Amino acid sequence: MPSSLAASLRALARPTALSIALVAVLHAAIGGVALHMLLRSHSLPPSQALAAAAPIAPPVAAKSAPPSSAPPSLAATATPAATAPAGHATILDPVLQARESTGLAQLRAAGVNLETLLHHAAPKPRAGDEGGPLVPLDRIRDAALDPGRLERLERLIARMPFAAPLHHIDLSSPFGIRRDPFDGERAFHPGIDLEADLGAAVYSTAPGVVAFAGWDGAYGRMIEIDHGNGIRTRYGHLSRILVRTGERVAAHQRIGLVGSTGRSTGPHLHYEVRIDGRPLNPAKFLAAGRRYAPIAANVAE
């Protein structure tokens, strides 16, 4: 009896152990799959991980599109990108980009301070309390941020003294340090001397208003023209003055005649360019004027 009971118990234990083993293997497999999915979800971008974890939705039957009446070539064309609003052209436009680059290059060639000039050309602030960070205009590379930037730049350049004050340019004394023609000492020359015959015509180099016309010591008979934005030109040693103080002049308008008045050793034109009272080398302006084509812009006040 004991031996038969033991045999019966052994017969019952075998399937039970086999069932337990199968259940353990099944749990291990499920755990492995879950661990794999978890690791895969961490390695995917968030949007793909959410998509992988989301339940699969049943497919939706696609609605048949109505037949297109357009020709096949037009029907297959992609929808064009939205265009920028009118009046807000972006500097990515190659034409506008070329115009701005040319204008800035011309100013740099003349040796001017771009931030100072663009600050002069910026619109006057309205009355009232205002504020915000300072962003110089020459750092703005997108005209959509400042639609009037290119217009102001070209108006500014159109008033710059890039034209020649004489028909023929023959430099006799440069800008900067030189030996004074009277005492031979080293001295600063705030302009350039251009050789010319007595009585040769002198022309304004940009549009502006005559700020002074008369006798001024060492300059002799001299004309000073205000071109706006802090820019002024001077024409010295004239034999005759053809304009009056306060008169508006155009670019290349005849304003006087070459002479040798004042502190001068002979007939010539002393010519200066000043910005905010500081003299700059006029030869650079003449070179920039010859290198770049004139910009046509409305320069009315």
Extract long-range pairs of 119-127: CB within 8 Å, 24+ residues apart: 120/156, 120/228, 120/229, 120/230, 121/152, 121/153, 121/155, 121/156, 121/229, 122/152, 123/148, 123/152
Q: Name the stretches of the chain with pLDDT < 70.
A: 1-92, 118-147, 296-301
Label the pairing between strands 254-258 and 201-203.
antiparallel
Instruction: Report pLDDT for 273.
Output: 97
Question: How would you classify residue 156: left for phi > 0, otherwise alpha for psi between -120 and 50, otherwise beta?
Answer: alpha
| Token pair recorded at residue 192 | 């350039």
Strand runs (DSSP E) across the chain, as ranges? 171-173, 176-179, 186-189, 192-195, 201-203, 208-215, 221-228, 231-241, 248-249, 254-258, 268-275, 278-280
Instruction: Report pLDDT for 135.
Output: 57
- Bridge partners of 272? 234
Backbone angles phi, psi at 210, to 5 degrees: -70, 115
How far apart (Å, rounded) are the C-alpha atoms in residues 109 and 141?
20
CA 233 to chain centre: 27
pLDDT tens-digit profile of 48-106? Answer: 444 444 444 444 444 444 444 444 443 344 444 444 444 444 545 787 888 888 888 89
207, amino acid identity:
P
How far apart (Å, rounded) are the C-alpha atoms in residues 123 and 100?
18
What pTM did the predictor assign?
0.62
Instruction: Report pLDDT for 99.
Output: 84
Is 279:246 a contact under the CB 8 Å cutoff? no
Instruction: Report pLDDT for 73.
Output: 40
pLDDT tens-digit profile of 107-117? Answer: 999 998 777 77
Third-level CATH fold of 171-281: Glucose Permease (Domain IIA) (2.70.70)
Distances in Å between the Cα of 69 and the Cα atoms of 62, 63, 72, 73 are 21, 18, 9, 11
- Three-state DSSP class for residue 166: coil
How far apart (Å, rounded) are the C-alpha atoms in residues 220 and 238?
7
Instruction: Report pLDDT for 181.
Output: 78
210, amino acid identity:
V
Distances in Å between the Cα of 245 and the Cα atoms of 211, 225, 239 are 6, 9, 17
- Three-state DSSP class for residue 178: strand
- Report the b/e string of 250-278 with b at 16+ CB within 10 A: ebebebbbbbebbebeebbbbbbbbbeee
- Bridge partners of 66? none
How far apart (Å, rounded) are the C-alpha atoms in residues 256 and 68?
75
